[in-house]
Amino acid sequence: MTRASLDKQPADVAAMFDSTAERYDLLNTLMTGGQDRRWRREVVRAVDARPGERVLDLAAGTGTSSVPFAEAGADTVACDFSLGMLRVGVRRQAGVSRLSFVAGDALKLPFADASFDAVTISFGLRNVADTVGALREMRRVAKPGGRLLVCEVSHPPNKLLALGHRTHLKVGLPLLARVSSNPDSYHYLAESTLAWPDQAGLSRLIQDAGWGEVRWRDLTFGVAALHHAVNPG
C-alpha cells in the first residue's frame, strides 16, 4: 500500500484512504476509543443545518458524517477526493434523500462561488497539503455570512494530559498498527496529529484565510477541537 507522508501528496493520501474505505468508520472508532461518534454529534449540533440550506461536508469519506445534515432537511453534498471512499458511501447511503456525493479536491473545489450556507470538514483538514489554501477555497464557496465548522485533532492544554496523549500517539497507535491489516494508516495518523498546530495556531490559519468571528472549544479535554467561523462576505 502507498504510504502517505507529511508532505501530503494528494495521490498518496487518496490511495491510503481508498485502501481503508470498507473499514474506515470502524478504524476511526478504534483509534479514538469510540470518541469519534461523540465528536461527530457535536459537529451536527454546531453546524445546525436547517431545511432549505445547502451544506458542504468536505473529506466526507463514506458520508457517515453527512447523513445527519440531510436528515435535518438540508441539501447536502458529501465531497471527498478518495474515489474508493465515495463508492462505499454511495452504496451505504443509497436510501438517504437530499444527499449527493461529489469527487473533489479541497484545494480546487468543483463548486461555484457563494454556493453553500455552511461548510464543514471533520478530521480531514490535516490531510490537505495547503491548509490555508483549502480554507480559502471553503470561504470562496460559502455564502456571505456562511458558517464554517472544522472538527480536527488537537492538543490537550493540560501538560499531564498532553504527555499521555503524545504517549498514546507514539506508543499506543504503533502497537495497534502491528495487529492491523492496514498499519500505514495508524502511523500516518500519529505523525499528522503530532505535527498539527494547536487550537490557537489553527485559529490563526483560519483568520489568515479570511474568515471572521473565529472561535473554538475543546472536545475530550482538547484531544480534538471544534473551530467555528463566519464568512464576512
Over the chain, what is the mean pLDDT? 85
CB-based contact 103:80 (threshold 8 Å): yes
Taking alpha carbons only, the member of 71, 68, 90 closest to residue 79 is: 90
pTM of full prediction above 0.85: no
- Angle at 110 (CA atoms; ends 113, 213), nearest 5 degrees: 45
> What per-residue confidence (pLDDT) applies to 119?
98
CB-based contact 219:39 (threshold 8 Å): yes
Tens of pLDDT, residue by residue over 9-40, are 666 665 665 555 455 555 655 566 667 788 88
What CATH number labels 10-156+196-230? 3.40.50.150
Element (H, E) at 29: helix 24-31
Q: At what angle do helices 24-31 and 10-20 cross, to 10 degrees?
A: 90
CB-based contact 178:23 (threshold 8 Å): no
Per-domain residue ranges of the chain: 10-156+196-230
In the predicted model, what is the mean pLDDT of residues 50-59? 97
Tens of pLDDT, residue by residue over 139-197, are 999 999 999 999 998 989 888 887 876 776 776 666 655 555 566 666 677 787 888 99
The CA–CA distances, whole Å, from 110 to 2, 88, 105, 115, 200 equal 26, 21, 8, 11, 30
> What per-residue confidence (pLDDT) applies to 166?
75
* CA separation for the pair 106, 219 (Å, rounded): 25
